[in-house]
Structure 1
Amino acid sequence: MESNLRTIIKAMTWQLLGLLTTSLLAWFHTGSVLDALTFALSTSATGFAFFFLHERLWARVRWGAGEERRV
């Protein structure tokens, strides 16, 4: 099992990679760096919030979460 710090660093670098790629794509489509950064930051924040809600909802679902197999 990896350390908490390693997991946090991996999550941060993954998020930065996502921000960079989204910013570049948005810049290509809009021609505006400011619009691209605003779009990338808003999608990142929205994605974070919905991922959190998604995880909390799945935490309530018992299916596949280590329950014993019924034969």
Structure 2
Amino acid sequence: MIVDQLILDKKASKKKFSEDKKSERPIRSVAKAVSWRVIGTLDTLLISYILTGEVAIAASIASIDFVTKMFLYFVHERVWNKIGWGK
């Protein structure tokens, strides 16, 4: 049963994006990555400040965290978008 769904999903995934209504556009993944990173970075900033007591160090950590994790989230979303399982 699951194997059948995976095979059927794989055949359906060969459609062009314009024909595939289940797929997300890359710009949506970018918007989701940015909004999630803002929340995550505020969390990192707060935790870093609590642990270090230094605003400059906390801001440095949060800045690096923002850029690297936004990129990783975008790649993660695009990979998962190609997987038909659970759609």
1:25 match: 47
1:46 maps to 2:68: yes
Number of corresponding residues: 54
TM-score with structure 2 setting the length:
0.51
Say what the alpha-carbon RMSD is for the aligned residues.
2.1
Letter in 2 for 1:49: F
Q: Which has the higher contact order (CA 8 A, sep 6+)?
A: 2
TM-score with structure 1 setting the length:
0.60
**Unmatched tracts of structure 1, length 5 or more:** 1-7, 66-71
**Unmatched tracts of structure 2, length 5 or more:** 1-30
Percent pairwise identity: 31
